Amino acid sequence: NAQPFLATHKNKGIAVAHNGNLTNTETLYEKLEEEGAIFQTTIDSEIIVHLLARGRNGDMKKWFLDVLTQLRGAFSLVFLVEDTIVGARDPQGFRPLCLGQIDDSYVLASETCALDLIHAKFIREIEPGEIVFIKGKTIESVFLPDSKGAKRAHCIFEYIYFARPDSDIFGDNVYNVRKRLGARLAKEHPAQADFVMAIPDSGNYAAIGYSNQLGLPLEVGIIRNHYIGRTFIQPTQFLRDFRVRVKLNPIRSVLNGKRIVVVEDSIVRGTTARSRVQELRSAGAKEIHLRISCPPIKSPCFYGIDFPSKKELIASNKSVKEIGEFLKVDSLEYLSLEGMLSVVKNSKDFCHACFSGQYPVAVPKNKSKYLLEGALAGSRGKEQGPRNKQP
């Protein structure tokens, strides 16, 4: 399931990288299977390749328009077809995609930080619904028919967690947005404490904003092992717990006997946060006031973030008070939905379905995120079962 997805069509190679998640996977899969398609993976990117293989009529622009018009959901896509690079965003613009330039050549990347690292000049963001065709020194673009009048739905969780702080996406800088989230959180939910600290790294910048707003000292209470990946997307609870222990280590001399405000970007299942609280207690923290720089996550994401099913999301099953008791903190507060939206530009252009349950694009009727995995399991034998999907 690793990307880029590689395929050969009429002795010509196609490579595709996909950030997002299709919501009409089941319909497309059944249609392609009836036409004789054989699937080798459980990623919806393969569906796109099968559609491309069935559609070329000589004109590349019409080819991609015909294929991408069939897609629903979230997709920022980059293709390499022969000597042409193709980039595309869904009409809602869920995921970022930007255009850069090095000398006379063009490059595409999800975030501007990638352009900085290769000394490319940022030109602009690819527009929602836009398809760009890059060949040599030339660049042309067309727009999907559905893009005209489509309501924007940028993923606000990119600002909260996923995007790098040194990137500019959706017309704003991620670092600055996270600081503003922290400052707003401090206004809504101040706390009396000796200092503010973050759960690194994604909580770092909201903690700066929180600290500055209240005039409380900012300390480093936890050291992060940067060689360990994200914990909430690990497939089993055992691996999540183990990685939490290896990933973060408290500094006892900083924490012992102190009242602390701990700023975290989000809580998903709650098990990781509980382990962190236990470690802070073991290191001698006298009081722990946990502050979350986004609202409670109550609904799964169908647009490219691997949040679990609703029953696994702690905020969909417990009140804030009950979550605080489960985590064993002295107090727990979340940023409000209104507060979160107040710190971003053009707030009406953002998707906040994971917080509000308001999905801007229709989701599968059975609200399953693993339709393709289930379909493949059924066609290959039920014993395989569904697999975790991380597009």
Q: Is 388 part of any domain? A: no
Kindly tell me if the per-residue pLDDT of 89 is higher than 60.
yes
CATH of the domain at 224: 3.40.50.2020
Kindly tell me if the per-residue pLDDT of 377 is higher than 90.
no
pLDDT of 370 reads: 56
Residue 105 and residue 233 share a domain: no
Q: Is 378 part of any domain? A: no
Single-letter amino acid, residue 202: S
Torsion sign (Cα): 132, 134, 137, 140: negative
**pLDDT mean over 176-202:** 98
**pLDDT mean over 363-380:** 57
Confidence at 385, pLDDT banded by 50, 70, 90: very low
Residue 206 and residue 145 share a domain: no
pLDDT tens digit string along 140-171? 999 999 898 899 999 999 999 999 999 999 99
Kindly tell me if the per-residue pLDDT of 391 is higher than 70.
no
CA-based nearest residue to 213, from 158, 265, 261: 261
Residue 140 and residue 185 share a domain: no
- Phi/psi of residue 123, nearest 5 degrees: -95, -55
d(CA 86, CA 142): 11
**pLDDT mean over 342-347:** 98
d(CA 17, CA 46): 10
Torsion sign (Cα): 38, 44, 45, 49: positive
**pLDDT mean over 111-140:** 97
pTM: 0.88
Q: Is 201 part of any domain? A: yes
Q: Is 364 part of any domain? A: no
Residue 102 and residue 58 share a domain: yes
Kindly tell me if the per-residue pLDDT of 232 is higher than 80.
no
Q: Token pair for residue 310?
A: 């609703």
Backbone dihedral region for residue 119 (phi beyond 0: left; psi -120 to 50: alpha; all else: beta): left
Confidence at 371, pLDDT banded by 50, 70, 90: low
Kindly tell me if the per-residue pLDDT of 199 is higher than 90.
yes
d(CA 21, CA 44): 7
Kindly tell me if the per-residue pLDDT of 196 is higher than 70.
yes
Residue 134 and residue 214 share a domain: no
Under 8 Å between Cβ of 358 and 352: yes
Tell me the residue range of the domain where 40 lies.
5-153
Looking at the structure of the chain, the number of domains it has is 2
DSSP class of 382: G
Under 8 Å between Cβ of 92 and 151: yes
Residue 9 and residue 58 share a domain: yes
Residue 171 and residue 119 share a domain: no
Kindly tell me if the per-residue pLDDT of 53 is higher than 50.
yes
Under 8 Å between Cβ of 179 and 209: yes
Residue 95 and residue 44 share a domain: yes
Q: Is 363 part of any domain? A: no
d(CA 122, CA 130): 17
DSSP class of 218: B
CATH of the domain at 75: 3.60.20.10
- Phi/psi of residue 317, nearest 5 degrees: -120, -15
Provide the terminal-to-terminal Cα distance of the chain, rounded to the nearest Å: 8
Residue 205 and residue 70 share a domain: no
Q: Is 354 part of any domain? A: no
Q: Is 308 part of any domain? A: yes
Q: Is 123 part of any domain? A: yes
Q: Which residues contact 4 (CB under 8 A, 6 or more apart)?
A: 15, 16, 17, 80
